[in-house]
Amino acid sequence: MDIKILGKGCAKCLKLEEMTKQALAKLGRQADVTHVSDLDAITQYDVMSTPALVIDGVVKVQGHLPRREDLEAWLS
């Protein structure tokens, strides 16, 4: 599983990264989590607002933090 957190490093972007890592640990899953802050790389995903979460190339959420239940469902 390849996970990307898209964002320049704002508080919500860092929170999304933390939430993602916590959900992975809770589920006992391993994944590569990468924080992408380069604007050119972010725009390749057609994301207009951050934070955004990309799982295996698919944008799951953008512009807000997901509910923990949703995050865990996407990661399971």
Question: Which pLDDT does position 12 carry in this prediction?
Answer: 96
Question: Which pLDDT does position 23 carry in this prediction?
Answer: 97
Question: Which pLDDT does position 13 carry in this prediction?
Answer: 95
Question: Which pLDDT does position 9 carry in this prediction?
Answer: 87
- Which mean pLDDT values do the consecutive 10-residue runs of the chain (76 residues) have? 94 96 96 94 92 97 97 96
SS3 32: strand
Domains of the chain as residue ranges with CATH:
2-75 (3.40.30.10)
Question: Which pLDDT does position 26 carry in this prediction?
Answer: 97
* CA atoms of 36 and 33, how far apart (whole Å): 10
